[in-house]
Structure formats: structure tokens, C-alpha cells
Amino acid sequence: MNVRNKLKPFKARYLFALPALVLFAVFFLYPFFNGFWLSLTNWDGFTKPRFIGVQNFIDFFKDERAMSAVKNTILFALFSAPLLNIAGLIYALLLENNRIKGVKLVRTLVYLPAIISPLIMAYIWTFIIQNDGFLPSLFLHMKLGFLVNDWLANPTSAWAWIIGINVWQFSGMTMVIYLSGLHGIPHEMYEAAEIDGAGYIRQLFSIKLPNLMPAITINVITNIIGSLAIFDAIVALTDGGPGYATESLSIYILRMVYGGSTGYAVAVAMVMFFITVIPVITYILLTKRKGLAI
């Protein structure tokens, strides 16, 4: 009788978890394994798939354009993810105090770009920075013609604009999560620090940053995933050009699908999945080992 009573809560836990497990299986496990099967075929999106083994993966790693897309995607993430976190943290620290007049309005203005479609926002910026756009015209009017350049035709400056616009648009989302973490720190900790004579810098490194580790973990993971999946901004600003200099893996996959190489595109998507998962898992393991994870 006692054993049966102990098993009831155990069974109840699994019963309550069942809907989530079903959704996980339907929307993740099935698409993942079905995608893995399709990645081993020559499917064109219409006819019956034919099994060709790992040939798609071999072709992918031999394709210079594909390797360029991998390099572009990783380099974008290496710059974008840290800058998003740094900008969001700076915004949060500057706008932390609710008692400052107008601080809520400023927070709203910082967050506002994030609710606009990245594609629309990038098109707006294209009209601003293209050769006959607002910014070059302004520089010419101000006798600063030496600053005018075809920024989107040069790979280096094009990437700088793509990264800068992405950070400007989405740093507000990062800021909101950091603000939530800052407002969750007990006020008594600050009072104790002030009694001990700790200044702002000491409080920042001894109180704020350690207590922000859960928020930092969330922001790092989401920004890594978002940066590796970059698509809209590149399509609107450069469409992957000049040539394929700013083409990301997401754009490469789309073009392979439209080219009738759907099985190959699914194989590339599988590679992209692991490129995204590996840094996320690595970060979680490193922070967990140091006792800093959520």
C-alpha cells in the first residue's frame, strides 16, 4: 500500500509532462529526424526522394561558396552577439533608476526598433545609406564629401553597417532582460555595500554583475542563436553581395531550395543546426562548471 502511494505522485508528474513531451515530439523530434532523412537524399522538393547517403554533406564541405557563407555567419555572430550584450547592459545600467524623470520614455525609445520587422528596418536604412540616400547627401551638403563612399558595395563597410544596424535594433531587447535582473536585486545588498564604503564600481562588480548571471546567460544564448540565423538585414541591405561576400548560411539555404536542391538545402540546414547548438552548449557547460549558470 505504501509503495502504491509513493508511485502515484511519480506517475502524476509524467502525466502532467505528457502534453509538453507530445508537443516537443511533434514540433521538434519529428521534423529533426525527417529532415535528417531528407538530407541523405537528392530530393528536389517535388519528386520522390532518392537516397544518396552523405553525398550532400561532402558537396557542402567542398563548395567554396558554402564555406564562405559559414565564415560570414560565424564572423557576424562573433561581433554581433557580444556587442548586443554590451550595448544592452550599458543601456540597462544607464536607465536602471526609475526615479529619473523621463527614464521610461527613453527605455521605450530604445526598445521601439525591436518591434519593427528587421526586413522593413533594413530597407529604411538602405534608403538612408545608399549612394543617393540621406546620409551621403547630408555629408555632401556639409562639405564632408570625403566621407561619402559606396558603403554597401565594399564587403568590409557592408558588414560594419549590417552589424551596427542589427545591434542598434535589438539591443533594446537585451536591455529589457538586464533591467529585469537589476530590479530583482534586493535593495538591502546596496545598503550593506554603502555602509561598507563600496562605491559604484565596486557595487557593479561585486553585486550587480554576479546577480545578473541568469540574465547574461539568457541574453548570450538568444543572441548567439539570433546572430547565427541572420537573414532579413542582409537581404534588404546587400542581398548577399557584393558577389557572395555578405551571404549568410540562411540565405544560402534559401537559394539552394529555390534552385531545386531541396535535399542539399536540408543537409546545409542540419549543419547550421549544429553550428548553432555547439556554442550554446559550450557556453552552458562552461558557466555551469564555474557555478554561474541559471
| Whether pLDDT at 141 is above 90 | no
Mean pLDDT of 142-160: 87
| Whether pLDDT at 207 is above 60 | yes
242: preceding bond cis by omega (within 30 degrees):
yes
How far is residue 153 from each of residues 42, 144, 161, 239, 242, measured CA to CA in Å? 35, 20, 11, 11, 6
Strand partners, 51: 41
Domain residue ranges in the chain: 64-258
**Element (DSSP H or E) covering residue 223:** helix 213-228
| Whether pLDDT at 108 is above 90 | yes
CATH homologous superfamily of 64-258 equals MetI-like (1.10.3720.10)
Residue 200's Cβ-side half-sphere holds a number of Cα atoms within 13 Å equal to 2
How far is residue 132 from each of residues 118, 122, 237, measured CA to CA in Å? 22, 16, 14
pLDDT band at 15 (very low <50, low <70, confident <90, very high): confident
Mean pLDDT of 259-268: 94
Rg (Cα) of the chain, in Å, rounded?
24
Alpha carbon distance 189, 249 (integer Å): 46
Residue 7 vs residue 131, higher pLDDT:
131
**pLDDT 10s digits, 54-83:** 999 999 999 999 999 999 999 999 999 999
At 238 the three-state DSSP class reads coil
For the chain, give the mean pLDDT: 90
Whole-structure pTM value: 0.88
**Element (DSSP H or E) covering residue 64:** helix 64-94
Contacts of 177 (CB under 8 A, 6+ apart): 88, 215, 218, 219
